[in-house]
Amino acid sequence: MIRHRRSKKIARFAVLPLVLLVLMGVVLIAASQFTKNSGEMTKALDGREEEPAQVSSGNAETEIAKETFKIMIDAGHGGKDPGAPGASGVEEKVSNLAIALKVNELLRQDPMFEVRMTRTDDTFVEIEDRSAMANDWDADVLLSIHGNSYEDGSVSGSETFYRYDNGLALATSIHQKLVDAMGFRDRGVRLNELKVLTLSQMPAILIETGYLTNAAEEAVILSEEGQNKMAQAIVDGLKQFVQQSAATK
Ligand SMILES: [Zn+2]
């Protein structure tokens, strides 16, 4: 009995600390929960406070990543200025425009680029106005597309001209892609004081895709397949140039 009572007493003594422990536990959990919550609230408040800064820095990063490049595409000649006739008699202005339109189409598929053209149809545009359009728009790049000609029909190949140092990397990048894609003779990248390049303030190049007076090259330049290939090569070279210049910024 005593044992029993004692055990009851012991039990009572044992239960009290247990209840206290449980109570303390509850209080502690509640306290830690509160701290956690208030911590989160602080964090949330901090976050809210930092939000504009984070958003703006995020935007800055996005701007760098999504910076649009303004490309002025210049289809050589046009209207009363036909350029040189090719081996088949087709005038240069025709294939220049066809390739330029394809480059335009390809670039428009990429939100990285804003594109304008100095002409979109068989219109005559003064050389000065072509450069002025690019300068006034503050274009990042001017691409002038031409086809070459020579009295000797055996002469062939692609060549790309630049005027200022700022156009050399662009010329090199596009020229290499073009030569690789088309397989025409590589006539190189050269400095040339062509008016459209001289008057343009941004990296500007003039691409002589191939010799229209060379029957074999003209056939490729006049073909849908050849024009698609050329346009893609020009776009590939341009993208490579943009990536390279972004990496060195
Ligand atoms: Zn030309």
Over residues 72-77, the mean pLDDT reads 98
Question: DSSP label at 151?
Answer: S
**What is the spatial distance between Cα 168 and Cα 162, in angstroms, rounded to a whole number?**
6
Range scoring the smallest mean pLDDT among 46-60, 204-218, 221-235: 46-60
Residue 208 pLDDT: 98
Q: How far is the CA of 222 from the centre of ligand 1 (A)?
A: 15
Tell me which of 92, 159, 208, 218 is the catalytic residue: 208
Average pLDDT (108-120) is 97
Res 209: pLDDT: 98
Question: Measured between alpha carbons, how far is 32 from 59 in angstroms, rounded to an integer?
Answer: 37
Rg (CA), the chain: 35
Q: Is 191 helix (H, G, I), strand (E, B) or coil?
A: strand
Structure tokens at 221: 């330049």
Compute the distance from residue 183 Cα to the ligand 1 centre, in Å: 21
What is d(CA 207, CA 174) in angstroms, rounded to the nearest whole number? 9
- Among positive and negative, which fits the CA dihedral 16, 17, 20, 25? negative
Q: 141 pLDDT exceeds 50?
A: yes
pLDDT over 70 at 244, yes or no: yes
The C-alpha atoms of residue 230 and residue 211 are separated, in whole angstroms, by 14
DSSP state, 81?
B
- The ranges assigned to domains in the chain are 1-66, 68-247
- Tell me, in angstroms, the distance from the centre of ligand 1 to residue 208's CA: 8
Mean pLDDT across the chain: 84
Work out the percent of the chain whose per-residue pLDDT is above 90.
Answer: 71
Whole-prediction pTM value?
0.74
* Residue listed under structure tokens 């408040």: 45
**Mean pLDDT lowest for which of 23-27, 152-156, 217-221, 245-249?**
23-27
How many CA atoms does the CB half-sphere of 223 hold within 13 Å?
A: 11
Residue 171: pLDDT band with limits 50, 70, 90: very high
**248 vs 73, residue with greater confidence:** 73
Distance 123 CA to ligand 1 centre (A): 14
CB under 8 Å to 71, separation ≥6 — which residues? 107, 113, 114, 115, 116, 139, 140, 141, 142, 143, 238
pLDDT in tens, 9-43: 445 555 555 555 555 655 555 555 544 444 433 33
CA of 110 to the centre of ligand 1 (A): 28
Assess whether 208 carries a catalytic annotation.
yes
- The answer to whether residues 188 and 171 touch, using CB atoms and an 8 Å cutoff, is no
- Element spanning 125, H or E: none
DSSP secondary structure letter of residue 139: -
Domain 68-247, CATH number (from 3.40.630.40, 3.50.50.60, 3.90.1150.10, 1.10.3720.10)? 3.40.630.40
Residue 75 CA to ligand 1 centre (angstroms): 9
User: What pLDDT does residue 55 have?
Assistant: 40
CA of 206 to the centre of ligand 1 (A): 9
Asked if residue 148 has pLDDT above 50, the reply is yes
Distance CA 179, CA 181 (A): 6
The pLDDT value recorded for residue 246 is 83
Q: From residue 189, give the alpha-carbon distance in Å to each of 73, 151, 185, 211, 225.
A: 19, 22, 12, 15, 25
